Structure 1
Amino acid sequence: MKKRLFQILGFVISTLGWLFVSCTMAMDYWRVSQIGGLGGSNIIKVAWYWSNLWKDCFIDSTAVVNCRDFAVLWSVTPYIQGVRGLLMTGLGLGFVGAILAFVGMECTYIGGTDKTNDKVLFSGAIFHIVGGISDISGYCLYINRIARTAFNPKLDPTSLRYDIGTPLFLGLVGSFLILVGAVFYLVTVFRILFPEPKVVYTNASKSYVTPRTRSRTLYTGYYRPSRQSQRSTLSSETKSSDLSNISQITDEKISDRDAFV
């Protein structure tokens, strides 16, 4: 029951994070800057500049929006291309991970045996982890660009200094949720797929076998048995020798009696 609850919780959290990241791709105001202020006693003249992954825009105090869409892919700023590629890679991996996790969950009854479902769920968790790291890398690359411009002491005072927008915070939260969901998946299947190795001694060949995988049985070695096993073997040998001596004495007595008769 706990395993199912952890898997369902991981699926809900990771899927919610994936939706957060996908929504940020279409959101505006990735970076925001404003200029202006009071233009008299009762008149406020402010202009806002904002950008996202697809366009740069300008809004004046009359709420007129003017935007300039980015050109074709090979003419866009390189760091914008990098952010796009990282986020799209993360979204693709997250989509595949969500499908694998849904198939491998215990409550869906879609996969085969329990061992097969655990392997599929483990693969989905790995896809989520790689996708979440890719998403975080994309957001951090964009934030680094904003921070380098904002805190550059050599920047022209007339140049714009942008602030971090809401989609970046939402995307970082979504990436964190994806990683948390993957951790919930791993908690439910890691001990099953990778159990702790145990040494089993056999009396015949004095060899050990680790029950983790069958291939390990090809590399069995010969070791000195423990003291308890030595005592058990010694006791069994003494018992067998005593029984053989008793049988020999009884046979001699029976043979002497038969010779007397």
Structure 2
Amino acid sequence: MSAIVETVGFFFGVSGSVMLGITLFNANWRVSSVDGNVITTSTLFENLWMSCATDSTGVYNCRDFQSLLALSGYLQASRALMISSLVFGLFACLCGMIGLQCTKVADGNAALKGKFATVAGALSIFAGLCAGISISWYAFNITSEFFNPLYPGTKYEIGPALYLGWSGALLDIVGGALMCCSYKQVTKSKSKYTYNYRSTNTASAAKPAPQTALPRYESSNSISKYGKNAYV
């Protein structure tokens, strides 16, 4: 049963990492809102790297953010967290391929494979947490600007890329938890003690043979039982 749980967890982790990779390069992290906007023929949408605009005819133009230091602090932190999430996800996939019981890598060493599976699960959980924090922080700023009546700039709404990212982060966390729970620690077999003992035959062979009892008349003490005249 643990092999099935481990395989499902690995599949969830890989799927979550792929979804997070798609989320990172998706341009629809936030989309301009039509609520209270007098210009409805064009739509603005942004992600962590660029800002784009499209009109009703489908023509759009994108502009990369020129300066890293000119960006907001939460945007820089979101970039770092998403990249860290993808790095953790990559190492989780590599360790998971070694730790899976159905693979032939390190076959015969159950303890080593279990440790690799646990490390893969922990890395997958870290990847999901990093991505979840990044996406949630970005979404929090979108909602705070939208509901702030004094905000002078363009108001945005949560884009479809964030929902995809939340799903990927959840899959990473669930998959990592399943891989960690599937680990069964291998108990070391007790050492066998060998006792040095003599077998019955050996003991009997080593023991000196008892002397054969002499007849009474051949005994060394038998001469004392007769008088000296008996030999004359």
Alpha-carbon separation, structure 1, partners of 2:61 and 2:7: 45
Give the corresponding residue for 1:173: 167
Alpha-carbon separation, structure 2, partners of 1:138 and 1:166: 15
Alpha-carbon separation, structure 1, partners of 2:172 and 2:105: 23
CA contact (8 A) 1:7 1:188 kept: yes
Give the corresponding residue for 1:161: 155
Q: Which among 121, 129, 139 is matched to residue 117 of structure 2?
A: 121
Instruction: Please list every run of 5 or more consecutive structure 2 residues that lacks an aligned counterpart in the other structure.
Output: 189-232
Counterparts of 1:214-253 in structure 2, within 5 Å, are none
Alpha-carbon separation, structure 2, partners of 1:161 and 1:45: 13
Letter in 1 for 2:56: S
CA contact (8 A) 2:17 2:89 kept: yes
Q: Which among 138, 143, 146 is matched to residue 142 of structure 2?
A: 146
Give CA-to-partner distance per residue, 1:172-220, whole Å, 9 cap, x none.
000000111111111211x526x8xxxxxxxxxxxxxxx9xxxxxxxxx
Letter in 2 for 1:192: Q
Instruction: Report the alpha carbon displacement of residue 154 of structure 1 after superposing the two structures with TM.
Output: 2.4
TM-score (norm 2): 0.74
CA contact (8 A) 2:46 2:52 kept: yes
Alpha-carbon separation, structure 2, partners of 1:13 and 1:36: 37
CA RMSD of aligned residues (A): 2.5
Instruction: Report the alpha carbon displacement of residue 69 of structure 1 after superposing the two structures with TM.
Output: 1.2
Give the corresponding residue for 1:6: 5
Counterparts of 1:64-143 in structure 2, within 5 Å, are 64-111=59-106, 113-143=109-139
Flag the 1:36–1:132 CA change in 2: closer, same or farther, 3 A.
closer
Return the index of the structure with the highest Cα Rg: 2
CA contact (8 A) 2:33 2:157 kept: no
Moved over 4 A (4+): 34-37
Alpha-carbon separation, structure 2, partners of 1:170 and 1:34: 20
Instruction: Report the alpha carbon displacement of residue 45 of structure 1 after superposing the two structures with TM.
Output: 5.5
Alpha-carbon separation, structure 2, partners of 1:4 and 1:95: 21
Bigger helix share: 1
Alpha-carbon separation, structure 2, partners of 1:79 and 1:145: 8
TM-score (norm 1): 0.66
Give the corresponding residue for 1:226: none
Instruction: Report the alpha carbon displacement of residue 147 of structure 1 after superposing the two structures with TM.
Output: 0.9
Instruction: Please list every run of 5 or more consecutive structure 1 residues that lacks an aligned counterpart in the other structure.
Output: 196-210, 212-261
Alpha-carbon separation, structure 2, partners of 1:9 and 1:166: 26
Give CA-to-partner distance per residue, 1:6-49, whole Å, 9 cap, x none.
11111111100100000111111111114499x9xxxx952211
Q: Which among 53, 57, 69 is matched to residue 62 of structure 1?
A: 57
Give the corresponding residue for 1:256: none
Secondary structure of the corresponding residue to residue 66 of structure 1 = strand
Give CA-to-partner distance per residue, 1:228-256, whole Å, 9 cap, x none.
xxxxxxxxxxxxxxxxxxxxxxxxxxxxx
Give the corresponding residue for 2:196: none
Give the corresponding residue for 1:234: none
Instruction: Report the alpha carbon displacement of residue 106 of structure 1 after superposing the two structures with TM.
Output: 0.7
How many pairs are equivalent? 188
Give the corresponding residue for 1:192: 185
Secondary structure of the corresponding residue to residue 102 of structure 1 = helix
Give the corresponding residue for 2:19: 20
CA contact (8 A) 2:146 2:155 kept: yes
Instruction: Report the alpha carbon displacement of residue 141 of structure 1 after superposing the two structures with TM.
Output: 1.1
CA contact (8 A) 2:121 2:176 kept: yes
**Identity in percent:** 27
Alpha-carbon separation, structure 1, partners of 2:9 and 2:34: 44
